[in-house]
Every structure is written in C-alpha cells, then in structure tokens.
Amino acid sequence: MSTRLAKGGRLTDRSKQIGFTFNGKRFTGFAGDTLASALLANDQMLLGRSFKYHRPRGVVASGAEEPNALVGLGQGARFEPDQRATTTELFDGLVADSQNHWPSLEFDVGEVNAKLARFLPAGFYYKTFLWPRAFWKHLYEPVIRRSAGLGKAPHPEVRDIDRYEHFHAHVDLLIVGGGVAGLQAAKAAGAAGAQVLLIEQGAHWGGRAPVDGGTIDGMAAADWVARTVAELETMENVRLRLRCMGAGVYDHGYVLGYERVTDHKPGAHGPRHRLWRIRCKQIVAATGAIERPLSFAGNDVPGVMLASALRDYVVNYGVSAGDRTVVVTNNDDAYRTAIVLKKAGLAVPVILDARPLGGGALMEEARALGIRVEPGRGIAKVLGGKRVTGVATCLQAGEGSVLEEIPCDAVAMSGGWSPVVHLWSHCGGKLAWDAENAVFRPDPTRAPTGADGAPFLGTAGAASGAFHLSDTLADAEKAAVAAAEALGHAATAAPPQAEAASEAALLPVWLMPQGARAELRMKAFLDYQNDVKVSDVQLAAREGYESVEHTKRYTTLGMATDQGKLSNINGLAVLSDALGTPVPQVGTTTFRPPYTPISFGAIAGEARGEIFQPLRRTPMQDLHESNHAAWEPVGQWRRPYCYPHPGEAKRDAVNREINATRQSLGILDASTLGKILVKGPDAGRFLDMMYTNMMSTLPVGKCRYGLMCNENGFLMDDGVVVRLSEDSWLCHTTSGGADHVHAHMEDWLQCEWWDWKVFTANLTEQYAQIAVVGPNARNLLETLGGMDVSKEALPFMTWAEGALAGTPARVYRISFSGELSYEIAVPANRGRAFWGKLLEAGRAWDITPYGTEALHVMRAEKGFIMIGDESDGTVIPQDLGLSWAISKKKADFLGKRAQERTDMARDDRWQLVGLETLDGSVLPDGAYAIAPGRNANGQRNTQGRVTSTYYSPTLKKGIAMGLVRHGPDRMGEVLGFTAEEQDHTDDKPTLVEARIVSPVFYDPEGEKQNV
Amino acid sequence: MSDVMAPLDGARFDGLVTVEALPAQGQITLRCEVSDDYRAKLSGLLGLAFPEPRKAVSDGDRALLWMSPDELLLLLPYDEVPEMLARLEETFPNWILLAVDVSDARAHFRLSGAPLRDVLSKLVPADMAPGAFVPGDVKRSKLAQVAAGIWLRGPEEAQLFCFRSVADYAFRVLATAAEPGGEVGFHGT
C-alpha cells in the first residue's frame, strides 16, 4: 500500500495537519502536500476511470504532465472539473471527487468496455456506427456521450463566484521556468543589466535538481537554489513570480502567463487567477523535460508510475507508493529512484534494465546498496487490476515469455526524458531529432523569429536537451548571454561548476518487450487519458495512416486534456516503427497553446456581469431608467425601445407613443446618432466622394439627407448632413455606424487623399440630441422661448443656432416621422436638464417620450428606409428607390464605379415596394415571396422578401416594406409570402397574401411635416 | 450652471487607488498641421509651451495635451471655452485649423495612490512602467474594452479620460481593478 513515511518530505510541514475529503471520505494531509501526495499518503491509489474502457487509473506523474489523476475540485460555485491532483496544492477543507465512473469508483459498469476492448479499436466510432443512419442521433451518440468523457460540466445555473483579472507586463526578457536553468539564466541576464521577469508554474523554485541531487558550486542543489533565489530577490531589475505558468508564446514576443493567485487559499481576497499578457523582447524557455513512460502490458495499472514521480513523492512529500517497487528503465536516471527508495528503507526487489549491458556509475551505486540489477530484461506484463501486485519479467529482446514473477506494490518506469519544447514550437521553432538521447530537441538554427528575422526565443537547460546537471547550467548561461546580447547588454558566460554522477547512454525502447505479442500490445498504453494503445497506432498504420497528424486524429492519441505530454514521442515512435519510416521523417504533431489548460475565468478577466462589455449611456440614460424604459441594444448603446406604463404591454406602449406623437407631441432621445465634424478647404470635395449625392453645393444653414456607399457600391450608412459654415459640415450617421463612418473617413483621408486639406472630429458624444415631434412641436419650442422657430424663420431642412429656455442649442428642422419635427442638439452636460425642461413645458400637450420601436414604425409609415433593415450589405441605393440621391453630375464618388458593374446595373434586381396584407395582418419579418417552380437544389423559387414589417396604429393594419423583383412595375399585384408556421412535411407552403403598394403609407404629399 | 452635469460627477471609489470622477472640464480639440508659426502663435495665446509628442504641458487650470501628430487637446475651465474659441478664431484667421468644443464629450477621472501603475496595468495594454511612462506623459490606449487617454500628472497620480457614454463602464472597471486583495506588486510597490 501507499503510505506516509516516518520522516522526510522536503516540501511538507508535518506540524500543520490539513483536512480534506475525496469522494466524501475524510482524509488528512500536511501543509505543502499536493492533493496527489496527500491521497497517496492515505493509500488512495485508485483515482479515476479511463475515458474509453473505464479502466482503473491512479497517479502516474508528479507534475503538469499528469494524465490520470484528474478530479472534480470544489463544490457549487467553486466546482471545476478535470483538475490535476498533482498540481493542486492541498488546502484545508478541499473537496475532490473522482470522475468518469458509474455508479462508483470501485465498481464501474463501464468497465465492461474493457472486456470489449478488441471490438473498440482505433477509429471504431467511424467504422461501427455507420448503419442504420437514424440510430446515430437517437441511440449511438447519446450512449457514447454518456459513457465517454471526463469530468462533468458545472451546473448551468451556477455562477463562478471568484473574480479574475488580466495584467499587462512589458519586460525585456521573460524567462519561463524556475528550475536551476531558469534561475541561472535570470542571474546571468540580470547581472548583464536586462529587465527580467522569471515565472515558475509551481509553488517552489529549483525544479527537479533538489530531488535529483548533484552539487553546484560545491553546494547541494537545494542550497544553491535558496542562495540564488535570495540573490535574485535583491536585484532591482529581476522580478520573480511563482504559480505563474508560461501558457503560450505568440507573434511579436507576446506571451500569456497563467497565475493561480488564490487556488491554494480559496475564498481569500483578490482574484483567483490572473492572466499575464506579457510583451517581451526576448524569451528564454527553461521549461525542463518530461519523463516518458515505457510501453508494456499493464503499464496503466494503478501503482505503475514514472520513476521520477516515485522519487518526488518520497523526497518532496515523504510518501511511498508501496513497500516494494520494481524499477524498469532504459537509462541511468531511473537508478536514482531505486537509490532514493532503498535509502528511505524501502525494498527494491529488482531493477529491470532493458539495455543488454545495463548502465554506468549509478548502476554500480545501486548494486553497492544491494539492489539486484537485471540487464537486458523488461516487463512482460504487470500483475493486478485495481493496483499492482507484481510483475512478470521477460527478455527485452524477446516476445514476452515470462521468466519470473516478482511480487511488488509499485513499478517505477522510465523510458528517458523529452525536453518540453512546447513554448519553442508555439511560434514556429523547429525541432531536430537527437538519436543519441532519442529526443526531439529545439534546433537552434531554426528558432522562432521576430519581425526583424532574428530569434526571439531560446531554450535553456533540459528544455534544450542538456539533461546532465553540468550541461544544464552551462546551456542556461549560454541562453541568458545570447538573450542579453540580443537586448544590447554586454555579457560573458561564467556558469557555475556543477557536478553529478556520469550517466551511460540510453537505449531507445518504444515497446517492451520489443517483439511483444498482440495480446500484450493490446494492453500496452500510450495515451492513458484517451486509452490509446500500441496496437491502435499499429492498426492505424496498417490501415494506411502515414501522417502523424492523421494518426493522431484517427486514434485520438494526444488529444486529451494533457495533449500527449507523456504519449506523444512514444506514439510517433511506434508509428515510425510500424511504417518503417525513421522517427524524424514521421515528425511530431503541432504544439499549440496553452501548455496546460487555463481557466475560462482567466481568459475573461474582469469582463463579466455589469462590465462584461461597455454599455454606452446617453446623458439622459438614468431618466429613461427611472421612467421604466424597455431596452433595445443598438451597437453598444441601450436605447429605450418604449416606455411601458405599469401593467402595459410593450406592444400597447408602442402604439400609444405613436398615436400621442402623431396627434400631439412626442420626444425621442436621439443622442446616439453619430455626429462627425468635417472641416477644411477640401471638405466639400471630400464629402462629395463620401456621399452618393452632392454635398459641396449645400448652402450654409441647410440640411440634406445623404447616402454613403462603400467602394463596392453597397449602401453603408445614411443621415442628414448639415452645412455649418463655408468650410465645415456636420455629418449625422446611424447610431451603430458612427465609429465606423468616422474610421472610414479617416482611412480615406490618411491613406488615399492625404494631401487634401480636411480635418474630422467625432462629436457624437458632445451633444445630447432630442427629437421634438408632432403637431405641437413648434408650440413647445415657442413656449421654451429664445429662438424663432416659425415656418418662415426655420423652414423644413434648415437649421439655426441660439438658446432655448437658456440652454445653448442648435435646432435642425428635419423629420423622420412625417410630422412637424425638430431635432435639438444641446451640450451633453446639459442634456438631462434640457430633457426635464421639455417634459415640464410639454405637459400642456401631453408630451410623450417615445422609443426606438415607435421611431421605426413612424419611419416605415413614411416609407423611409432603415440601415440594417432595408440594407444588409448586398443592397445598393438603386434597389431602394433612392436613385434621386445619387448624383449624375459628379465625376466620382465611392461606389460609383461598382454600381456600374453588370450585376448592379441589371434591371431585375429586387427593388423596394410597400406591402399590405389582404387580411390586414402583419407579415412575418424576413418572409419570402414564393415564385413558381424550384431551383437546381430542389428549393422553391423566390421573387422577393420582407425587409421590415410592423403593425401601424396610424393605419390600424399591418404594413411592410420589401424587396421584390421588378417590384415598382407590379403595383397592385398580389404575392404569396411564407407564413410564420410551416408544415415541414407538406409540399404546399402556408402563405400569407400581400399586395404590392407604394412604400409611402402615410401622408404621401408631405403636408404634415411641412407646416 | 446648475444645468451642467458632468458624467458621474462626484463618484468616488477608495481601494488600492482612489478613483474620482471629475467635474465638468473645458476641452477643445485642435487639429492643425504643426509648423513653427503654429507653435509660436498657440504658445503665445495660451501661455503654455507647445507639447512634445506624447507629452502634456500645464500651468494652473490649463493644460495642452499631445494627442497625435496633428491633434492637441486643450484643457481649461469649463466656462472659458466659448471665449477661448473666439480667441483661437482671432489668432488663426483663415488658417486650416479645426478648433472645436469637446468639453461635454469626454469624462475625466483622477486616479491616485501608490499602486497606480499596477492598477492601470490590469486594464491598459500600454507600458505603465516607471521608465516608460513618466509624469508629464500622455498615452492614448485602451482601458479594458474602451478607448482612453491617460495623463500621468505625478508619480502617484493620473488623469484618465474617455468618451462620456462609457464613463460608467470606465469607473466600474477601474473600481474592480482597484479592489483590495488584487495587489500585484509588479511596478515596485
């Protein structure tokens, strides 16, 4: 059984007990434990079930590479699935649950899948569930979805109660990884004068060195680490950050760091995670290496662990995985585990060394401790189901005939080490195959390069493939010097003296034994999390999968949350063997960020709840709020849709607002309309290019409705243009279009007509703008007093400046409703007060604030188009009966040439008409007018569509606008439009009949607005 | 003057830093191609030096902020704007110059406190480090999801401005970033 040893535990504090629960059972650990070490200390070896076969699985690793020990962590508003027990720091009250089991962890029904394993080979989804087709949706998919998968998603109604944030940091040099290589690199680059940020994903500095031993500058590794950290802390130009992972490297030296600020003390003040958005000039990835498993039958039984992890648990946490541990290896490093175990008083029955001649100095040391070493041997299979009970040994060179059965509680395996090349690869760094160490390591001649073509990222230490301590520090020094020099600092390499036992060469072992029979290969797991075995990859190769990327997707190798950290190299080596293609030619799959999964909360940062996105507010917004407005989003604005009275339906409120406005007086908050000032000697010429109609000839004091097209000829925006003075115009835009139109203008001015003398300024927010509409509009303004707003002084489509009721104001005599109407712009800071004055003075006429829906209906009653309704990016002004607003005189304007193209000029484009249902009902929005026959795809032909449709309280019936082929020539014709409800099996569509009429439903002569 | 209501006027949050919404601020946008003549005339009129790129110059309640190669922002008391516009007109007759009142278009906040740079770095992608952003500097950048300008007025004080419609958003994100417990300790405090 796994247990806590009597002493030991470099990182734990035995004076501080910590209580936690796993699957409802109460356990105790120590401060400094990880959840994995605390569970092992309590003999909880079985931690979950595998994805596909529901095989029992336990801890394999001790760090970020862990594929098995995933738990659901926390409860309720702090529940999170798929958390790695190996990187979860233990805290008081921690609650964890195992995943992917039913009904219980110990007894799992899905385990029957394992019995059926021979029927569930690679790609079985693709092969098995093809027929009958209907079964997929209703039977196969639901069952597969229930039995597969890892953790469960948090409850949809529960909200994460923690907060998250971003942090933007700019540094010269970012060093990722706080092992001895990262520390040495920081020290060297810091000493050279670089601004350094050193981040480490774990809670401790020093990485593996304190466990693996060796001396640096005559000191034990742990002492050197402590001294170096203390030294770095005194350097002003070096910053250190624990619990902060380098998640991804992107173009231009942009790096994402993932800091777990309070994961180890939930509920503490402050954000839970902080996403570091780091812009740096140089990066050193000192990301270390990950040990590889060996592929032998039963290598997934709980108790089979990476050799390095076993010694981590003993040295760091004082926890043993079992009394008797068999070590199986193809290299010298695993002997360190045997030596550590033996020195801790534990039994190592045998070291199985796949190399025919065994290892070097470390083997001699192990033998001297009395450990039996068997060179040339391997594991035929692991004995035991829910945990290891022993191993059957065999010759590595053979097919798996059992030589001996050796009882044991744990197996420490090592297939060598792979450099963590993820960050190197994220931004295009290439790898080279190092046959001697059987690893892909960064190829320094093909580094990730920046905009200047020079490398911006280097690796240091084990991440470069410099595994031996003496090489590690020298390599780190070299990387730091290169980075410092690239930053313009003078630096010379002076690495510390490091010593560690010499190591004999490793023997690549991709399958154990090398000639393993089929039944062994079917139990030799490559990818633990996705249950991919050696036999699956071999099958894929036999079926013709040659590309490693295709094999990955077909077998799901490396596609789980661990992204193949343990399985990648083993899997592609098996593929290479099966294809008879050398490993470097097979290559690796693509390394993509993040290095390990990061929380959605960290990505969202502060953007949640009320600050999920900016909500723009007009100066009168809080008055609308207190007036119980119902809201409509318009861009990032929230505009009042209508103002329902208590108990009043929105529909009724809209009708009331329209009737009140048409009969007496309404006011609208139009502050959101874009207002762009265009000024300069070339402003008229510029606006003639921007708008389809002529703006340069507009007299001072007048207003003109204008259309703006993009260079493809499509209608982009509309609005009233006002001539303010000889050299300045004010362009009104749609509410949603203001920023875009301003950017569009600046784009043309800065990139194309940079020599034109024109300046623009976006004044949208300078003014509160209020439309005063209705037969009593003039009466109201005259009551306020201060300006002559009579028909004679201020005729339709003119403007005047002055003061109304003591408020400085610009009054535009324009109308979008067909009524007598003024739009009044006042300084935004006075908008709130001015709105109040209007309401006060307007009481005599029962003044009624109206919202966007009333605005839309009144526009539609007049046949005025709406950008976004009648236009959708494919509509040109000519489609909308707006040819009158397209200048024939101008030599050019944006869109002119495009509108001459064949498709734009053809005479059967759908064109704007009014539509009236025969029964007075409201046509469905977006409904199509059916035409006889069917197209090549068997779909019904169409001849038009509804673009906006409303109930008109003025006319007391449904009115609509639409685009219809040859529409204006077909007045009076009745078309069939698709009804809201359709019977999908019926060949005969349900239609609503509507007659083509003029789009101007109300006051076609314009008598009302022109009084 | 009682009619005048600056966005969020008087709102205040005390956290890692203090965030205060400032009262109505007179603001004039000036766009003009920069020439020696322009520099001299403008400085003469305002009694302020012409700001270097990405800098502000100030004296009392007036300041001139560099906004882009052809744009300046003049800050002055709210009530003095109409007169100043008239004097600009007199000083630059027939010039190709845009001078327009934007006093009501933007909201201003004062941020003060030792961890100022850390709080800003949570929301602003630009470099807030002491070596990259010194008192007297103006940065036009983003504050979370909206455009904002930041004028560093002292080692621990900044004036931040954004469009008035997003003043509420700006205040909330600043208050969130300044919430106690969120200390970062990156910029040395």
Class of domain B12-23+105-177: alpha beta
**Shortest CB distance from B102 goes to which of A269, A757, A766?**
A766
A53 burial (CB, 10 Å; 0-12 / 13-18 / 19+) is buried
Asked if the peptide bond before residue A594 counts as cis, ω within 30 degrees of 0, the response is yes
Which amino acid is it at A487? L
Residue ranges of chain A whose pLDDT lies below 50: none
Nearest in space to A42 (alpha carbons), one of A57, A61, A55, A23: A23
Chain A residues touching residue B32 (CB < 8 angstroms): 759
Residue B117's pLDDT is 98
For B188, which residue in chain A has the nearest alpha carbon? Answer: A236
For B130, which residue in chain A has the nearest alpha carbon? Answer: A170
Q: For B84-100, write each residue's pLDDT tens digit.
A: 999 999 999 999 999 99
Q: How many helices (H) and strands (E) does chain A have?
A: 27, 52
**Shortest CB distance from B129 goes to which of A170, A607, A807?**
A170
SS3 category, A926: coil
Chain A residues touching residue B3 (CB < 8 angstroms): 806-807, 829-830, 833-834
**Shortest CB distance from B104 goes to which of A169, A616, A828?**
A828
A396 close to A375: Cβ distance less than 8 angstroms: no
For chain B, residues classed under CATH 3.30.1360.120 are 12-23+105-177
Chain B residues touching residue A618 (CB < 8 angstroms): 165
Q: Distance from A619 to chain B by nearest Cα, in Å?
A: 8
CA–CA separation, A690 and A756 (whole Å): 14
Q: Do A765 and B177 touch (CB under 8 A)?
A: no
A518 burial (CB, 10 Å; 0-12 / 13-18 / 19+) is exposed
Chain A residues touching residue B182 (CB < 8 angstroms): 165, 270-271
CA–CA separation, A930 and B166 (whole Å): 46
Which amino acid is it at A77? A
Beta carbons within 8 Å of A96's beta carbon, 6+ residues apart: A20, A21, A22, A23, A35, A71, A72, A73, A83, A85, A88
Residue A1008's pLDDT is 87
Q: Do B177 and A274 touch (CB under 8 A)?
A: no
For B95, which residue in chain A has the nearest alpha carbon? Answer: A680
pLDDT at B189 over 60: no
What element of type H or E holds A677?
strand A674-679
A939 close to A978: Cβ distance less than 8 angstroms: no
What element of type H or E holds A575?
helix A568-579
For chain B, residues classed under CATH 3.30.70.1520 are 26-101
What element of type H or E holds B151?
strand B146-154
CB neighbour burial string for A457-476, b if at least 16 within 10 angstroms, e if fewer: bbbbbbbbbbbbbbbbbbbb
Which residue would you say has higher pLDDT here, A984 or B11? B11
Chain A residues touching residue B100 (CB < 8 angstroms): 677, 761, 763, 766
Which amino acid is it at A276? W
**Shortest CB distance from A833 goes to which of B3, B132, B184?**
B3
CA–centroid distance for B172 within its chain = 18
Best of B176, B187, B189 to disrupt the A interface (most A CBs within 10 Å) is B176
Domain range B26-101, its CATH number among 3.30.70.1520, 3.90.1150.10, 3.50.50.60, 3.40.50.300: 3.30.70.1520
Nearest in space to A350 (alpha carbons), one of A292, A407, A415, A308: A407
Chain B residues touching residue A611 (CB < 8 angstroms): 144, 169, 172-173, 176
Residue A1006's pLDDT is 86
Q: DSSP of A439-489, one letter per residue?
A: EEEE-GGG--B-TTSSB-EEE-GGGGT--SHHHHHHHHHHHHHHHHHHTT-
What element of type H or E holds A829?
helix A828-842
For B9, which residue in chain A has the nearest alpha carbon? Answer: A829
Residue A419 structure tokens: 């450099």
pLDDT at B1 over 60: no
Eight-state DSSP code of residue A506: P
Q: Do B184 and A680 touch (CB under 8 A)?
A: no
What domains are defined for chain A? 1-154 (3.10.20.440), 164-290+418-499 (3.50.50.60), 509-586 (1.10.10.1100), 621-671+766-859 (3.30.1360.120), 676-764 (3.30.70.1400), 896-997 (2.40.30.110)
Residue A909 structure tokens: 């484009």
Nearest in space to B160 (alpha carbons), one of B133, B181, B187: B133
Q: Do B165 and A618 touch (CB under 8 A)?
A: yes
**Shortest CB distance from B146 goes to which of A163, A614, A832?**
A614
Chain A residues touching residue B102 (CB < 8 angstroms): 761, 763, 766
Nearest in space to A769 (alpha carbons), one of A641, A614, A642, A620: A620
Chain B residues touching residue A829 (CB < 8 angstroms): 3-6, 24, 103-104
For chain A, how far is it from start to end, CA to CA, in angstroms? 96
A231 burial (CB, 10 Å; 0-12 / 13-18 / 19+) is middle
Nearest in space to A282 (alpha carbons), one of A429, A172, A176: A172
Query: What Å distances lie between residue A841 and A783, A800, A836, CA to CA?
Result: 7, 21, 9
CA–CA separation, A346 and A827 (whole Å): 83
Residue A509's pLDDT is 97
Beta carbons within 8 Å of A398's beta carbon, 6+ residues apart: A513, A514, A515
A543 close to A312: Cβ distance less than 8 angstroms: no
